[in-house]
Structure 1
Amino acid sequence: MATAEPDVSGTPAADAVGDVLSPALRSLLATLRLRPRHAPGRQGIGHHASRNRGSGLEFSQYRAYESGDEPRQIDWKLYARSDRFFVREAERDSPVRAWVLLDTTASMTQADEAAPTRTRFDVARLLTTCVYEIAQRQGDACGLVLCGGAGVALVTPGTGPRQRDRLRHALAAVRPGGEWPEAKALAPAWGRIARGDLVVAIGDWFDDTAVEQLVQLANAGRDVTALQVLTADERDFPFRDGRRFVEQEAGESLLGDGPALRADYLARFETARRALAARFAAAGIRFATHVIDTPPATVLGALFGDRAP
């Protein structure tokens, strides 16, 4: 969607992607799972073939106890020495891998007029961190693909604290801008995403070229989930005066009267969203929408909770 002037295109400070998860959100993430629809095998314990954690497996690392962890995972000998709760994590190798495909085009810099310092990209970046934390907790390797005007950047899937640092660094360094890359630029990254890999694609998905790329990934045997991130202004169109609406990627603008445009805009926007949902469904892509003025818990639970499709 075009944004209404004044245009807010700044990006947050790099340290905004540090430890941004609240205790409540971390507790929720402990209950969620990334579930492939067609796991390549059933070895090991857990919800799917992955690097599973638990007793009797190869030790990986200690980490601080968090709400939602099972008490049996606590290392009580270490507690006796340190007076702090730590959890032992163990893992076993598995072919299952997860990727977050993040839209970093110019439209991701859009913000609501009521909250101009919170961009669509801020929220998409938080959701990316949440997906990685879910994968980390259940022992799955997780990688990152950034797609925007600067081209394509890739972080190879991995696990553990070093991988968390790699992902945080990549998210902190990226500056959204430009348009969705051409298919030729995407081909090397697409070749790294293997058949059966989980792909969680996070963006606004207004660009038909980007949507077609997701459909092609799904048709090629990748397990794709599309998470659309919308602004509240896109959902509500609250403008009550004359505006210049700016298409951020193409730079085109349109003068219009907010109240006069509202009914037609809302109808067209809903029609477009239903068409997008139908297109994804036809390709076997799971689809959900998140509006940036709402807590992320609802959409994360819908996609990755016990009742997730």
Structure 2
Amino acid sequence: MAAVRAHDAIPRAPGRRESEGAVALASRMPRLVLEARRVSSMLAHGLHGRRRAGPGESFWQFRPFVNGEAAARIDWRRSARDDRLYVREREWEAAHNIWIWIDRSASMGFASDLAQAAKVERALVLGLALADAFVDGGERVGLLGLTRATASRKIVEAMAQALVADAAGLTQDLPPRAAPARFDEVILISDFLTPLERVASAVQEIAGRGSRGHLVAVADPIEETFPFSGQAVLHDLESGLSLDVGDAGAWGDAYRTRIQAHRAGLSEIARGVGWTLTLHRTDRPASEAGLRLATLVAAARGTG
């Protein structure tokens, strides 16, 4: 049996961009906002055609008047500027919102040398990019339990400011108690390394009123493969505990079996409430997960 020695908890575990990744957020947010906008532009094709004419309140476009339509629909001011009649069409606005929650707890600050970014950075970029793309597609988006849903074109900046100001969110590894309306869409982005029973309780509570949803499990590549051997010290970023392992290689098979069982448990939780599960590794582009989520949301809402 491999020799193991537990160390006392420390305030901040060492390592590359670990706990600092979730704490020192404000200084990195401008860069993450720019990255989110870049990813959002790549998602545009996945959300095309979301706007359509209907009985909404927001102006969408003018179109030529068609014989047989009620004269009351004519926009006389616009028509006076041309030699033809125009109708003011309004944007179709669904009565349902899209809510996003982004885990910023300590474990999300981890990044190995194999990753393109820390988990928290990838989660933020993905969440902000999706919000921007959804709003561009005519949806209303909000941060679950933190902001109201809005269709503002400044959604990325508004969400970024709210997240930076929300210091309490840095210690929460599960979404807040919230009750989205029936048929609202919910996207939860986390590493979901919390015990499955706690994840199940949170998801079931959110889904209880009939909202549809998607779990996005963000993972560093070494969290999936555990490529360690020989002497190693493992750090728990949430508790600050360290574990001195005499032969890390001997733990590999057991670890991989356990993480696979955990992923299977997440899948069961999602399936149990009719939600989806997406696994996203941080050595892959954010656009991959973004396009999948955009497609899933569009399919759930019967558009796209």
TM-score if structure 2 supplies the norm length? 0.71
Preserved CA contact (<8 Å) 1:49 1:96 = no
Amino acid at match of 1:277: S
Structure 1 residues 54, 179: closer, same or farther in 2, change over 3 A?
closer
The answer to whether 1:45 aligns with 2:52 is yes
2:193 matched to which residue of 1? 206
1:298 maps to: 288
Secondary structure at the aligned position of 1:99 is classed as strand
Match of 2:19 in 1: 9
Partner in structure 1 of residue 210 of structure 2:
221
> Do the aligned residues in 1 keep the contact of 2:41 with 2:133 (CA within 8 Å)?
no
The answer to whether the Cα contact below 8 Å between 1:302 and 1:308 also exists between their aligned partners in 2 is no
Q: Return the TM-score normalized by structure 1.
A: 0.70
- What's 2:33 paired with? 18
| 8 A contact 1:10–1:109 mirrored in 2 | yes
Amino acid of the structure 1 residue aligned with 2:252: R
What secondary structure is seen at the aligned counterpart in 2 of 1:18?
A: helix
Unaligned runs of 5+ residues in structure 1 are 37-43, 58-88, 146-152
Counterparts of 1:53 and 1:289 in 2: how far apart (Å)?
38
The aligned amino acid for 1:178 is T
Q: Displacement of 1:50 after TM fit?
A: 8.1
Instruction: Give 2:269's match in structure 1, choosing from 269, 279, 287.
Output: 279
Cα deviation for residue 217 of structure 1 reads: 1.6
Q: Provide closer, same or farther for how the CA distance between residues 234 and 262 of structure 1 changes in structure 2, counting only shifts above 3 A.
A: same
Q: Relative contact order, CA 8 A, sep 6+: which one is greater?
A: 2
Equivalences for 1:230-309 in 2 at 5 Å?
A: 230-256=219-245, 257-305=247-295
Q: Give a deviation string over 1:274-309, Cα, whole Å, max 9, x none.
A: 122122112211111000110122222233238967
Matched, 1:194 2:181: yes
**Greater Rg, structure 1 or structure 2?**
2
* Identity across the alignment (%): 20
Contact (CA 8 Å) 2:213, 2:276: kept in 1 or not? Answer: yes
Shift of 1:231: 0.7
Partner of 2:105: 105
Aligned twin of 1:163: 155
Aligned twin of 1:83: none
More strand by share: 1
CA-based RMSD of the aligned residues comes to 3.5
SS at match of 1:118: coil
Confirm or deny that 1:31 pairs with 2:61. no
Aligned positions, number: 253
Specify the code of the residue in structure 1 equivalent to 2:132: E
The answer (yes or no) to whether the contact 1:245–1:254 under 8 Å persists in 2 is: yes
Q: CA deviation at 1:205?
A: 1.3
Shift of 1:174: 5.0
The answer to whether residue 192 in structure 2 is matched with residue 178 in structure 1 is no
The aligned counterpart of 1:61 is none
Any idea what SS the aligned residue of 1:279 has? helix
